[in-house]
Amino acid sequence: MDEIDLAGQVLAGDRLALARTLSSVENGTTQGMQALNSLFPHTGKAHLVGLTGASGTGKSSLVNQLVLYYRKSAKLSRSKNDEPPLRVAIVAVDPTSPFTGGAILGDRIRMRDLAGDPGVFIRSMATRGALGGIAAATGAVVQVLDAAGFDLVLIETVGAGQSEVDIARLAHTTIVVEAPGLGDDIQAIKAGILEIADVLVVNKADLPGVENTERALRGSLGLARPAPKRVFHHGQLVSVPEQDEPHSPSGAAWVPPILRTIAIDGTGIPELADAIAAHRAHLEQTGGWQQRDRGRLQAELDLLLQNRLLTDFRSRLKDGTYEDVLAGVLERRISPFQAVDELVKRNR
């Protein structure tokens, strides 16, 4: 099957073609890139929802319940407004577990609940590097799912590091999940994540300490929100203009709600779905939707550009030049900064 067919079959709803395209895209093959180019004009419709939180917060169960709710509630309300149920894709990303298969394990549990529903598609991100990092690979995978016609793409990530912040930037709506009893100083550790949160969830709300967790979140939010505007940004990207910072849309301010859920019995799931819908409506009314879209696509462009420039630069260097200059650094004759000057000079 050639690449035109592959993209066409994805657009026609062929799940096998979709799975193949995602693998090709993740692996950065020529076929994958061509399919992505063909599919890209069909993107821009899906609501991209990021969901992040530390391990132990019950994040994956929450995602499962949310998707089950979307599928069921849509069916229930179908008689009323005749709308088809939302089609939902889940992208599970775990940048901290590259080889133990954590994401793949979660995927299996998930499959038990959601398998067989043609309106649900689940993808675990196991690869990194092919497109220049997990954030770039996730971005490309999300584009394919968007083009494939999913109404909602849930991007689930683990942890609170910079990678997670980068991945969360791919979303229109970012949900941060907390749980009681996971440490007494979330104020400090979560501040970076809280700044990008649109919806806060305290899951496992039946556990003792839920009030403390909620209070700590409220306190941290108070600290995080009025701080001077700061562009969360992957290190190598330097040029997103201030007005494009995707998390301060013009218009009325969005105050992130703090919701309690108990994923295992479904408590609070309808309210979470409502909050997600409300945030989408807010973005559409304030122009934030376009703003986040722009910030996201510019970040993706910059990342890809950077990788391309390095690849091109390398291919132009004479054999041995790089090693030669690196040796000067290892022997402490020249600093890494001087080495960069030298490489650029020799590349001319």
Helix (H, G, I), strand (E, B) or coil at 219: helix
Nearest residue (CB) to its own copies, 74 versus 339 = 339
Residues 249-278 touching its own copies, rule: CB under 8 A, are none
Q: How far apart are CA 128 and CA 144, in angstroms?
A: 17
| Residue 110 touches its own copies, criterion: CB under 8 A | no
Residue 23 to residues 76, 81, 127, Cα–Cα distance (Å): 35, 37, 9
d(CA 308, CA 132): 9
In angstroms, the CA 237 to CA 337 distance is 19
Nearer to its own copies, 80 or 332 (CB): 332
Q: How far is CA 104 from CA 11, 95, 117, 157, 268, in A?
A: 26, 13, 19, 13, 27
Among 64-72, 100-108, 196-204, 256-264, the segment contacting its own copies (CB under 8 A): 100-108
Give the closest residue to 60 by CA, choosing from 145, 147, 165, 175. Answer: 175
**Of residues 61-80, which lie at the interface with its own copies (CB under 8 A)?**
none
Is 132 one of the binding residues for its own copies (CB under 8 A)?
yes
How far is C-alpha 266 from the chain's CA centre? Answer: 24
Which of residues 294, 321, 324, 346 is near its own copies by CB under 8 A? 294
Does residue 309 belong to the site contacting its own copies (CB under 8 A)?
yes
Do residues 107 and 80 lie in contact, with contact meaning Cβ atoms separated by under 8 Å? no
Sites for its own copies among residues 216-245 (CB under 8 A) = 220, 223-224, 227-228, 230, 232-236, 238-239
Is residue 95 near its own copies by the rule CB under 8 A?
yes
| Contact string 156-195 vs its own copies (x = CB under 8 A) | --xxxxxxxx----------------xxxxxxxxxxxx-x
- Please give the Cα distance from 87 to 150 (Å, whole number): 5
The least CB distance from residue 193 to its own copies, in Å, is: 7
- Residues 164 and 54 sit within 8 Å (Cβ to Cβ): no
Q: Which residue among 54, 91, 201, 276 contacts its own copies (CB under 8 A)? A: 54
Shortest separation between residue 75's beta carbon and its own copies, angstroms: 32
Taking CB under 8 A as the rule, does residue 40 contact its own copies? yes
Interface with its own copies (CB under 8 A), residue from 23, 29, 73, 96: 96
Looking at the Cβ atoms of 75 and 225, the one nearer to its own copies is 225
Query: Is residue 87 a contact point for its own copies (CB under 8 A)?
Result: no
- Provide the H-helix boundaries in 58-124: 59-76, 78-81, 102-114
Among residues 77, 243, 285, 335, the one that binds its own copies under rule CB under 8 A:
335
283 makes contact with its own copies (CB under 8 A) = no
| CA distances to 2, 217, 235, 271 from 140, in Å | 19, 32, 20, 30
Stretch that binds its own copies, among 41-49, 84-92, 199-207, 260-268 (CB under 8 A): 41-49
